[in-house]
Amino acid sequence: MQPVTMDHLPTIAPDRLPELLRRMPKAELHIHIEGSLEPELIFQLARRNGVSLPYANVEELRKAYAFTNLQSFLDIYYAGASVLLKEQDFHDMAWAYLRRAQADNVLHAEIFFDPQTHTARGVSMETVVRGLHSACERARTELGVQASLILCFLRHLSEADAFETLEQALPLRDRFIGVGLDSSEVGHPPEKFARVFARCRELGLHIVAHAGEEGPPAYVWQALDILKAERIDHGVQSPKDPALVRRLAQDRIPLTVCPLSNLKLCVFPQLADHNLGRLLDAGLVATVNSDDPAYFGGYLNDNFIQTFAATGLTAPQAWQLARNSFEASFVDAAAKRRYVERLDAAFASFA
Ligand SMILES: [Zn+2]
């Protein structure tokens, strides 16, 4: 898709901005399904499966969410995932997210999942993928939300573990569209997985990677040049390297930015300091996403509304971000056009 001007947009008063942000159609491209697991569902699944949790109740678990960096978050994230054992559990988790996505006017979601978090506990790849995939299928028919899955490798684990995970997933190849790289970034550069991603490219999988969240611009370069990532997840450290910004703009490499996650993990001291507006000003295909919404204080519309309120972004930038989300998705050109038409119609109805 080529960039188009925003000249045709109707004038929308600033006080109507939150309603516009809620109602505009959008895609979500950076959501870890395990990070959508709410404390209530964790306790429900724990009871159903007879799993004991190191927290007395929902409130105590919520209080434990006072983490301050990526590692302390990941520790509790893996503890929460321990209640997921059966195909139905994975279905229920994804279904809960997809219903929230529909409420936020998400038309299309590309959902990350972390199979190693589950296979390491003895849950089979098939249980994970079948449960998540059936929820995506159900969302298409019952909610009108399109959803696909992206398998993420945990970068704190070894290359051999990633290769084994890929091998386990291959019989289910038609149920996911791509692969990504997530978990603790610093100390685990993309180049560690060069050979795994080369194999994934041979298999025709889409490639994305977390880079430049807490890690340096060099990790973004590696994700682009070594892994051949089509999208960068986060990438907010990129402006530290002007040559990298030029590269991202020139190749229209999307960044899936997650403002409330960045705030919670202290990537920016305050939401008002977030560089989302500057990324757009630099001509980058930035998008807004929720990352791990149960843990970071909000789903997609919360991210939009709070970030716009804090940084003073405007209606034309809302349109650009929503348009970018469709452009950055892995659907075909005709589907992208149909999504953007719905976006334009939503803005026109607001005039
Ligand atoms: Zn993420």
Show the tokens assigned to 190: 């993309």
Q: Is 345 exposed, middle or buried (0-12, 13-18, 19+ CB in 10 A)?
A: exposed
Provide CB contacts within 8 A for 227, sequence distance 6+.
181, 190, 193, 194, 197, 207, 209
* Rounded Cα–Cα distance for residues 245 and 276 (Å): 13
235: CA distance to ligand 1 center in Å? 11
Rounded (10°) angle between helices 159-169 and 194-202: 20
Write the DSSP assignment of 163-198 as a string of letters: HHHHHHHGGGGGG--EEEEES--TT--GGGGHHHHH
Q: Which helix (DSSP H) or strand (DSSP E) does residue 103 occupy? A: helix 87-103
- The identity of residue 246, as a single letter, is R
Q: Which of these, 16, 27, 24, 23, lies nearest to 290 by C-alpha position?
A: 27
Show the tokens assigned to 294: 């149960």
Binding residues for Zn(2+): 30, 32, 210, 291
* Rounded Cα–Cα distance for residues 335 and 351 (Å): 25
Q: Give the distance from CA 41 to its chain's centroid.
A: 20
Residue 241: count of CB within 10 angstroms of its CB: 17
**pLDDT of the chain, 351 residues: tens digit per residue:** 544 556 678 788 889 999 999 999 999 999 999 999 999 999 999 999 999 888 899 998 888 877 777 777 777 887 789 999 999 999 999 999 999 999 999 999 999 999 999 999 999 999 999 999 999 999 999 999 999 999 999 999 999 999 999 999 999 999 999 999 998 888 999 999 999 999 999 999 999 999 999 999 999 999 999 999 999 999 999 999 999 999 999 999 999 999 999 999 889 999 999 999 999 999 999 999 999 999 888 999 999 999 999 999 999 999 999 999 999 999 999 999 999 999 999 999 987
pLDDT value for 3: 45
Q: Which residue has the tokens 């051999």?
A: 160
pLDDT value for 6: 64
14-348 is classed CATH 3.20.20.140 = yes
213 is catalytic: yes
Catalytic-labelled residue, pool 28, 38, 87, 213 = 213
348: CA distance to ligand 1 center in Å? 33
